[in-house]
Chain A
Amino acid sequence: MKQTESHTGFHHALKVVDELCIGCTHCMTACPTQAIRVREGKAIIIEERCVDCGNCCKVCPVSAILIEQDDFQEIFSYPVRIALVPSVFIGQFPSHIKTGDVFGGLKNLGFTHTVEIDSVVDLVQQGYDDFVKNPDCLKPAISTFCPAIVRLIQVRFPSLVDHLIGVKPPSDVAAIHYRKQMMEQGKKSSEVGVFYITPCAAKIASIKSPVGEKKSPVDGVINMEYMYNKLLHLIMNKEVTAQAGPDNDKLDSKKILWSLTRGESAHQQGRSLAVDGMRNVTEFLERLEETEESHIDFLELRACDESCAGGVLISGNRFLTVERLNRRSGELPKESTEPLVPGSFDKSLYSLEKIEARSMLALDPDRARAMEKMNKLEELLKVLPGIDCSACGSPTCRSLAEDIVQGKAQPSWCIFLQELYIRDKRLSLEEADEINGSIWGRERDYRSQSK
């Protein structure tokens, strides 16, 4: 597996498998933070820029981007094994498969308890209400539900980090709440393993290197795709021995839709709005930085198209998943008035620490040098073709220019400038071959049929 460009201490769930990568640039151009380059015919991920949204993984034609997960057998190191199940997990199964089979199957596979994460959203909502009530709360308050969005704001929109709501996402709240419940029943914390069946890479990264908490309350992550395959196999072969529901039955018509687009925004006080998809979110955040939209109270932002139903580890079609969840929502009781846990939102348990910006946009920490680089960058942009072909190994002409002023690329890497240099006899064909080999890979024969 390829090492990422530098070791920065950020844990990422996405890794490029060199043996499979064909250096095709699909991932590089899909990346919303320009975190990928192609060198020696392989994609490399720049650690400090990656926000683990998984867009690269979705577009890779050869499945060369791997999403890390914990070994499933790890669950058996705990006597109490809780599966945290997001509602989208159920939504991806075809309609003829019974919910009882899914939860029963999870028990057959080794979990002692299964709980639906979305059962705790009342608690999260209480936290939101508390947070926005504070007169110092900046408007619009931005949801911290989606971990890829939190990271996107940290690296690309540093001025907006103070808008993030300091409340842990439902998966964390559920992990803490249900562990506590087990401990109240006499179990030791070390005996309880909480495993999150996750629809996305960003959740995995946020558990391995949490933002706004010292340690994640989740003990392990199980890739949803892996779990889907295992369960479907079990169900198809009629090996599910027990029909079971989740061990908590607190879902209602509102909670089940929380992880979908408008799942949160629909229930907030005042004016709220929901944006999904990385490109849409980025466009909106750019605007928010320039014009204060302080008349909006609450912003729900989700990295994936159709929110968690469009997660990179969801096997089913995202629109069908949404439709199934909507149907299931209609069959559930209307929003329950009964609070899940007595008492109110416990700040000491469920609040996030202050989230810090870590902008990756600066050309140089020294202002004078950054100015010099900026001037050079503007000059480069005038000569680069501006068609963003990405054959230079950078995603756009602008990012090539940024790489050049940072000393990480050369103008001759641009195939248009290369052509000019050759014509002007400033570059030999052999030198050009050498350059192109260092970007596209040396062994690759572009005339062959197998790419």
Chain B
Amino acid sequence: MVLQYHIDEGDFVNAGNASSAVKRILKQLDVPAKMIKRVVIALYETEVNVVAHARKGEIEVVIEAEKITISVQDSGPGIPDIDEAMKEGYTTASKEVREMGFGAGMGLPNIKRNSDALHIESIPGEGTLVRITNELRD
């Protein structure tokens, strides 16, 4: 099953739509609650990242019997130093975004914590591809 979602910069109101929809499907597939939680948190954080930093992003979610693969391609500023960005507390979020309660520098670390495999490719000035893969079996 393949699902696609589109996100726009600054649209915090709709950040979370993709994770809600994916959550509902995983529940109906009887995926263990703890695994659903990891997927949903990782996806939600990714959605927020795109809304906060990138101009727009396309999410593709592929659900198979054994695993879920989430790919998010954005056309944002890119991440110059991925290792640095993975550190807790590292943030480039604007004051405006931080005032809204986002951008505390926990996004990427949180995504990593909640994914079985995380792959990030980034070209500064062009955009970032985040691919999260989680197992769906105990």
Residues of A within 8 A of B (CB): 158-159, 286, 289-292, 357, 359, 361-365, 367-368, 370-371, 374-375, 377-378, 402
A370 touches which of B30, B40, B137 (Cβ 8 Å): B30
A374 touches B25 (CB 8 A): yes
A291 touches B16 (CB 8 A): yes
Report chain B residues within 8 Å CB of A291.
16, 41, 44
B1 contacts A371, C-beta separation under 8 Å: yes
| B48 vs chain A, min Cβ distance (A) | 9
Instruction: Give complex CA distance A289, B137 in Å.
Output: 20
List, in ascending order, chain A residues with CB within 8 A of B63's CB.
Answer: 371
Q: Choose one: B1, B23, B34; the contact of A374 (CB below 8 Å).
A: B1
A363 CA to B28 CA, complexed, in Å: 5
* Given A289-B23, A361-B27, A374-B1: A158 and B33 interface contact (C-beta under 8 Å): yes
A398 to B57, CA, bound (A): 28
Tell whether, in the assembled complex, residue B20 and residue A359 are in contact, meaning their CB atoms are under 8 Å apart: no
Find out whether the CB atom of B33 lies under 8 angstroms from the CB atom of A290: no
- Sample of 12 A–B contacts (CB below 8 Å): A158-B27, A158-B33, A289-B40, A290-B16, A290-B41, A361-B27, A361-B30, A362-B29, A363-B29, A367-B65, A368-B65, A371-B64
- Nearest to A361 among chain B residues (CB) is B27
A159 touches B30 (CB 8 A): no
* Smallest beta-carbon distance B93→chain A, Å: 17
Complex CA gap A6/B37 in Å reads 31
Distance of A371 Cα from B67 Cα, bound (Å): 12
Q: Which of chain B's residues 1-35 have a Cβ closer than 8 Å to chain A?
A: 1, 16, 19-20, 23, 25, 27-30, 33-34
Residue of B nearest to A292 (CB): B41
Return chain A residues, CB-CB under 8 Å to B19.
290
Decide if the interface of chain B is mainly helix, strand, loop or mixed.
helix
Provided the pairs A159-B36, A291-B44 are in contact, do residues A365 and B30 lie with their beta carbons within 8 angstroms? yes
- Contact A367 B30, beta carbon cutoff 8 Å: yes
**Residues in A whose Cβ lies below 8 Å from that of B23:** 289-290
| Residue contact B20 to A290, C-beta cutoff 8 Å | yes
Count A-B pairs with CB separation below 8 Å: 61
User: For A289, A365, A368, A374, which residue has the most chain B Cβ atoms within 10 angstroms?
Assistant: A289
CB distance from B121 to the nearest CB of A (A): 26
Q: What mask results when residues 90 to 106 of chain B are scored 1 for a CB within 8 Å of chain A, else 0?
A: 00000000000000000
The answer for the CA separation of A368 and B29 in the assembled complex, in Å, is 9
Closest CB in chain B relative to A278 CB, distance in Å: 18
Starting from the known contacts A362-B27, A402-B28, 4 additional A-B residue pairs (CB-CB under 8 Å) come to: A289-B40, A290-B41, A291-B41, A371-B29
| Distance between A395 CB and nearest chain B CB, rounded to angstroms | 16
Q: Which 9 A-B pairs have the closest CB atoms?
A: A362-B30, A159-B33, A158-B33, A361-B27, A370-B29, A367-B65, A363-B28, A159-B37, A290-B40
Cα(A363)–Cα(B37), bound, Å: 19
Kindly state the interface size class of chain B when it binds its partner: 20 to 34
Q: Taking the nearest CB of chain B, how far is it from the CB of A163, in angstroms? A: 11
- B30, B40, B136, B137 — which one has the most chain A CB atoms within 10 A of its CB? B30
CB closest residue in chain B, given A157:
B33
A114 to chain B, nearest CB (A): 43
Which has the most chain A C-beta neighbours within 10 Å: B23, B27, B64? B27
Residues in chain A near residue B1, CB distance under 8 A: 371, 374-375, 378
User: Residue of A at shortest CB range from B34?
Assistant: A159
In the complex, per-residue mask of B52-92: 1 if CB is within 8 Å of any chain A CB, else 0 = 00000000000111100000000000000000000000000
CB contacts (< 8 Å) of B34 on chain A: these are 159
Residue pair B33, A371 in contact (C-beta under 8 Å)? no
Name the CB-closest residue of A to B64: A371
State A322–B26 Cα separation when bound (angstroms): 41
Q: A158: nearest residue on chain B (CB-CB)?
A: B33
A50 to B33, CA, bound (A): 21
Interchain nearest-CB distance for B42 vs A (Å): 11
Return A364 CB to nearest CB of chain B, in Å. 7
A367/B40 contact (C-beta < 8 A), A290-B19, A290-B20, A291-B16 known: no
Nearest residue, chain A, Cβ from B30: A362
A361 interface neighbour in B28, B37, B136, B137, Cβ under 8 Å? B28
What A residues does B20 contact at CB under 8 A?
Answer: 286, 290
A289 with B28, Cβ < 8 A, contacts A371-B1, A371-B63, A378-B1 known: no
Residues of B within 8 A of A286 (CB): 20
Smallest CB-CB separation from B41: which chain A residue?
A292
Shortest distance in angstroms between B135's beta carbon and chain A's nearest beta carbon?
12
Select one of B27, B66, B136, B137 contacting A359, CB under 8 A: B27
CB distance from A128 to the nearest CB of B (A): 24
Smallest CB gap from B48: residue in A:
A291
In angstroms, how far is the closest chain B Cβ from the Cβ of A287?
A: 8
- Give CA–CA (A375, B27) in the complex, Å: 14
Instruction: Tell me which residues across on chain B come within 8 A of A375, comparing CB atoms.
Output: 1
Chain A nearest CB from B20 CB (Å) reads 6
CA distance A359 to B27 in the complex (A): 8
Enumerate chain A residues within 8 angstroms of B137, measured Cβ to Cβ: 367
* Closest CB in chain B relative to A147 CB, distance in Å: 21
